[in-house]
Amino acid sequence: MKKKKRYNIAVVGVGAVGIEMLRILKERNFPIKELRVFARSKRDIQVDGDTYHVLPISSEGFEGIDIALFAGTEGENGAAVTYAPDAVRKGAIVIDNGADFRLKPDVPLVVPEVNAKDIKKNKGIIANPNCSTIQMVVALAPIHKLSKIKRVIVSTYQAVSGAGRSAIAQLDNESKKMYGLDSGVDTDKAFAYPIAGNVIPQIGGFGDSGYTSEEWKMVYETQKILHSDKIKISATTVRVPVKIGHSEAIYIETKKLLDINVVRDAFFNTPGIILKDDVANSDYPLPLDSEGKDEVYIGRIRRDPFLDNGLWLWVVSDNLRKGAATNAIQIAEYLIGKRP
Q: Is 114 left (phi over 0), alpha (psi -120 to 50) or beta?
A: alpha
* DSSP state, residue 283: B
- Work out the angle at residue 33's Cα, subtended by the Cα atoms of residues 29 and 36, and round it to the nearest 5 degrees: 95
Residues 6+ apart with CB under 8 A from 179: none
**3-class state of residue 249 by DSSP:** strand
Name which of 167, 166, 156 is nearest 133 in CA terms: 156
- Could you confirm whether 144 is annotated as catalytic? no
Residues 6+ apart with CB under 8 A from 23: 47, 48, 325
What is the rounded distance in angstroms from the CA atom of residue 234 to the CA atom of residue 232?
7
Name which of 35, 55, 51, 45 is nearest 15 in CA terms: 45
Catalytic residue among 53, 144, 227, 246: 246
* Cα distances (angstroms) measured from residue 133 to each of 42, 56, 99, 236: 33, 31, 12, 12
Name which of 173, 193, 169 is nearest 182 in CA terms: 173
**3-class state of residue 269 by DSSP:** coil
Name which of 217, 218, 219, 167 is nearest 194 in CA terms: 167
- Could you confirm whether 131 is annotated as catalytic? yes
What is the rounded distance in angstroms from the CA atom of residue 263 to the CA atom of residue 141?
11
Q: In 47-163, where does DSSP find H-type helix? A: 79-89, 112-115, 131-146
End-to-end Cα, the chain, rounded Å: 18
> What residue type is 29 in one-letter code?
N
> What residues act catalytically?
131, 246
